[in-house]
């Protein structure tokens, strides 16, 4: 059972992140400062209420927060980060960076080539779902006029999406990419049934026996036809009366 939680982070003045202290969201963007978890220290963790938004959590714990704090939400395995300004939380990307061995994509990636798509691409957003990081790439020439592409941290194609980026449709495609077994549940069920039949085949020595063993009354009805009617069992047989031998006249 997953528990939805939030965590609050505050600028660590002992790091290079001290320049972020008490800056508004707009000031951070104007100065082009990076907001990364290594510049912060963990302050608190709490449980989210059902369907609670970042803004609602911020209002609930506002007396504990400071401008420049970062609120991190973990909702059903999806991680989202929000910079706390003086008006309301602003969603940010790149605060948490998964260090995956062999990863080729990061928030700084640009001039990237994607198989099957022309031109150069640049990372504009990222999302963490079920402990895996995914990146949204935009065409560096056509921008919003072209589709957006979602790749995993290894540069593997996940899906394409529209100008809304990581909307609910895109997130569903990512979930199907992470858990492909949930995409075709009926097909997987059929495959499992088939595997069970083959397992019986190896155990019983013949396909007909394995295929019919779950449906036939007993093995004497294994004849290549499934669902033979069960034989009626005679509970008691009437003894045949023997005629007395005729005596000799």
| Alpha-carbon gap, residue 227 to 145, rounded angstroms | 60
Among 168, 131, 127, 179, which residue's Cα sits nearest to residue 150? 127
Which tens digit of pLDDT belongs to each residue from 58-101? 999 999 999 999 999 998 889 999 999 989 999 998 898 876 56
* pLDDT for the residue numbered 18: 95
pLDDT exceeds 80 at position 133: yes
Which tens digit of pLDDT belongs to each residue from 158-180? 999 988 899 999 999 999 999 88
* pLDDT for the residue numbered 246: 54
- How many C-beta atoms lie closer than 10 Å to residue 89's C-beta? 24
pLDDT exceeds 70 at position 141: yes
For the question of whether the overall pTM of this predicted structure is more than 0.75, the answer is no
What average pLDDT score do residues 18-22 get? 96
Dihedral sign computed on CA atoms, order 184, 190, 191, 193: positive
Which is it for strands 40-47 and 70-75: parallel, antiparallel or unpaired? Answer: unpaired
* pLDDT for the residue numbered 225: 54
Which tens digit of pLDDT belongs to each residue from 187-214? 556 666 666 655 655 555 554 454 555 5
Which tens digit of pLDDT belongs to each residue from 35-48? 999 999 999 999 99
Q: Please, are residues 126 and 134 in contact by the beta-carbon 8 Å criterion?
A: yes
């Amino acid at each position: 059972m997953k528990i939805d939680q939030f965590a609050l982070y505050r600028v660590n003045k002992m790091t290079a992140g001290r320049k972020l202290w008490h800056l508004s969201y707009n000031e951070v963007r104007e100065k082009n400062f990076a907001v990364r978890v290594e510049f912060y220290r963990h302050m608190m963790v709490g449980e989210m209420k059902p369907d609670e938004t970042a803004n609602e959590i911020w209002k609930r714990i506002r007396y504990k927060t400071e401008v420049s704090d970062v609120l991190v939400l973990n909702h059903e395995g999806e991680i989202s980060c929000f910079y706390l300004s003086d008006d309301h939380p602003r969603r940010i990307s790149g605060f948490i960076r998964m260090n995956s061995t062999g990863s080729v994509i990061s928030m700084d990636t640009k001039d990237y080539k994607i198989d099957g798509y022309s031109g150069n691409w640049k990372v504009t957003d990222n999302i963490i779902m079920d402990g895996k990081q995914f990146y949204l790439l935009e065409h560096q020439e056509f921008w919003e006029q072209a589709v957006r592409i979602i790749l995993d941290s290894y540069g593997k194609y996940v899906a394409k999406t529209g100008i809304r980026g990581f909307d609910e449709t895109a997130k569903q495609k990512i979930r199907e990419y992470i858990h492909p077994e949930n995409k075709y549940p009926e097909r997987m069920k059929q495959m499992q049934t088939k595997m069970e039949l083959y397992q019986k085949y190896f155990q019983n020595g013949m396909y007909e026996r394995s295929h019919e063993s779950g449906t036939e009354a007993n093995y004497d009805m294994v004849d290549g036809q499934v669902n033979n009617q069960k034989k009626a069992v005679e509970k008691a047989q009437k003894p045949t009366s023997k005629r007395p031998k005729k005596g000799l006249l």
